[in-house]
Amino acid sequence: MPPHLRPRTLLVLILGQLFIALAAEAAELGFGEMYQFPIGAHGLRPTAKLLALDGHQVHLHGYVAREEQPVSGRLILVPVPVLLAGEDEALADDLPANAVFVHWSGGRFAPPASGHLGLTGTLRVGVAEEADGRLSMIRLYLDTAQTFNALGIQH
């Protein structure tokens, strides 16, 4: 084994290949599989599965966070129903740390302001600034054609 390939790195690579193989179709990803829980004293620690699925098709089930001031072309998917009260709370909110920011463009996709959804798209892992000033850690870019077909939406 090359000296620079430490056991931990090998494990990540093996797991990554396994997940990629399983994700030939969209891989199922649960909110409990994104970060090591409980959350660490110094912040979030992504799981190997999450990192391995970066850039791949995933399928997520979750609740649409209800936003007082929604951002066009984006919704936030969360493991439990949440209402974000922007005017009185600013960012002192009840949004869980493992929220997924879902983006799409084009089409006539009018998502519900609340409710439970199953969505498929390309997963992106990494820090990005959203239009409302939040920083997202995980984003899902919808395959709008596939999503619209699945939801029976004309586009």
Q: Which of 20, 57, 63, 74 binds another protein (CB under 8 A)?
A: 63
Distance of closest approach, residue 80 Cβ to another protein, in angstroms: 5
Determine if 23 is a binding residue for another protein (CB under 8 A): no
- Which residue number, 73 or 150, has a Cβ lying nearer to another protein? 150
Of 13, 14, 153, 155, the one binding another protein by CB under 8 A:
153
Tell the smallest beta-carbon distance from residue 43 to another protein (Å): 3
Q: Where are the beta strands (DSSP E) in the chain?
A: 27-28, 57-64, 66-67, 74-78, 83-84, 100-103, 116-129, 135-142
Q: Are 112 and 65 in contact (CB under 8 A)?
A: no
- Side-chain half-sphere exposure of 44, counting CA atoms within 13 A: 19
Cβ pair 63, 119 in contact under 8 A = no
Q: Decide if residue 113 touches another protein (CB under 8 A).
A: yes
# residues contacting another protein (CB under 8 A): 56
